[in-house]
């Protein structure tokens, strides 16, 4: 796949100080967001965090109350006609043609593009060839989801907005969609995706932005986010009741060392090779043989829950 030629901008999407209210609900609260051109950015956040509202302002479906929104250098609120042919939007629910057959629907959308992808190729890539003659409303949920993705891509967009692209898909279809998103990135297409699946964000995204209550609470590459701060835990087993004073003295400041359960010891903090060496040297000094020593890295989900809390959102 190759994309339409266009004036390249460093950031395909740029939001500065954006606010959006719905009555008394402040859905987006002074949001700053940048999606570098040609990268995949995953927008994460609990239910109601403001992800869809943010994406809809970028697509031109909603107008910001305050702040600037620029997409491919254009203002989606006032330049939607120029923007539309250059972006792909994954609509849920079949858009305007729920009675149309899958293949027809895709061909119809392709007609609006100057340089569309081959609809048949796209159907076959997404495993939908057998469903080409099936009316949209009779497709399974997973087929509808894949067709929505095909519709977003058929116009060969420079930038694609994917709202939970693999929600409800089985494992096989999920891999297909992931492969397609990777192919888009290789072709220089910018992708802004929202997802609730941490493994998806970690696997696909160059950058992750975590938002909550309409503002950014963390951002960076998946590795930067999971490595930041107190990042891990080392756990080992040894005879119960060992005196940990010497170990605490040997470790740098800020590490938390304790016997979590009888004979199960933990060291919390950034687990470096030097920390591992300090722990095993202490064991040698104490003349104890540790068993089951393991280093556990914080996952993206751990970080996400630390930042956004564990209580259910409305």
Task: Let me know how many helices (H) and strands (E) the chain has, helices first.
Answer: 11, 13
Phi and psi torsions of 46, nearest 5°: -65, 170
Q: How far is the CB of 25 from ligand ATP (least distance, A)?
A: 5
Nearer to ligand ATP, 36 or 48 (CB): 48
Kindly write down the DSSP assignment for every residue of 188-257, as one continuous string. T-EEEEE-S-HHHHHHH-SEEEEEETTEEEEEE-HHHHHHSSS-EEEEEE-STT---HHHHHHSPTT-EE
Q: Which long-range contacts (CB under 8 A, 24 or more apart) does 185-189 make?
A: 185/38, 185/39, 185/40, 187/1, 187/2, 187/3, 188/3, 188/37, 188/38, 189/1, 189/3, 189/38, 189/157, 189/158, 189/159, 189/160
Minimum distance from residue 215 beta carbon to ligand ATP (Å)? 12
On whether the CB atoms of residues 147 and 116 are closer than 8 A, the answer is no
Q: Which residues bind ligand ATP (CB under 6 A)?
A: 22, 25, 27, 45, 47-53
| Shortest Å, Cβ 205 to ligand ATP | 17
| For ligand ATP, the closer CB: 51 or 156 | 51
Angle 12-82-158 (CA atoms, 0-180°, nearest 5)? Answer: 35
Considering the complex, state which of residue 54 and residue 226 has its C-beta at the smaller distance from ligand ATP.
54
Q: What angle in degrees, to the nearest 10, is found between the helix axes of 141-153 and 171-186? A: 10
Of 27 and 87, which CB lies nearer to ligand ATP in the complex structure? 27
C-alpha to C-alpha distance for 214 and 50, rounded to whole angstroms: 5
Closest contact distance (angstroms) between CB of 267 and ligand ATP is: 36
Q: How far is the CB of 47 from ligand ATP (least distance, A)?
A: 3
Cβ 186 to ligand ATP shortest distance, Å: 28
When the beta carbons of 45 and 60 are compared against ligand ATP, the nearer one is 45
Q: How far is the CB of 62 from ligand ATP (least distance, A)?
A: 8
Cα angle, residue 156 at apex, residues 80 and 221 outer, rounded to 5°: 85
The residue (of 167 and 288) whose beta carbon lies closer to ligand ATP is 167
Of residues 158 and 212, the one with the C-beta less far from ligand ATP: 212
Other Cβ atoms less than 10 A from the Cβ of 250: the count is: 16
């Amino acid at each position: 796949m190759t994309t339409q030629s266009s004036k390249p901008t460093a950031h395909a999407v740029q939001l500065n100080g954006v606010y959006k209210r719905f009555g008394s609900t402040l859905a987006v609260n002074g949001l700053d967001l940048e999606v570098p051109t040609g990268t995949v950015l995953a927008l994460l956040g609990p239910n109601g965090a403001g992800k869809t509202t943010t994406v809809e302002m970028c697509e031109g479906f909603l107008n910001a109350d305050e702040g600037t929104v620029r997409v491919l250098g254009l203002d989606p609120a006032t330049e939607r006609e120029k923007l539309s042919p250059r972006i792909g939007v994954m609509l849920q629910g079949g858009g305007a043609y729920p009675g149309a057959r899958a293949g027809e629907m895709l061909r119809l959308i392709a007609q609006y593009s100057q340089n569309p992808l081959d609809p048949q190729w796209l159907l076959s890539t997404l495993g939908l060839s057998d469903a080409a003659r099936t009316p949209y409303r009779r497709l399974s949920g997973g087929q509808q989801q894949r067709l929505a993705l095909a519709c977003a891509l058929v116009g060969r967009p420079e930038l694609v907005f994917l709202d939970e692209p693999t929600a409800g898909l089985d494992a096989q279809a999920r891999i297909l969609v992931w492969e397609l998103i990777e192919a888009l990135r290789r072709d220089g297409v910018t992708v802004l995706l929202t997802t609730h699946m941490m493994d998806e964000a970690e696997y696909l995204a160059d950058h992750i932005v975590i938002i909550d209550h309409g503002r950014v609470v963390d951002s960076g590459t998946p590795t930067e986010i999971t490595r930041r701060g107190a990042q891990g835990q080392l756990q080992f087993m040894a005879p119960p009741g060992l005196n940990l004073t010497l170990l605490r003295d040997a470790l740098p400041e800020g590490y938390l060392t304790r016997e979590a359960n009888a004979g199960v010891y933990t060291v919390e903090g950034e687990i470096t090779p030097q920390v591992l060496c300090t722990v095993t040297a202490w064991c040698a000094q104490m003349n104890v043989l540790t068993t089951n020593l393991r280093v556990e890295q914080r996952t993206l989900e751990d970080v996400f829950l630390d930042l956004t809390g564990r209580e259910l959102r409305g």
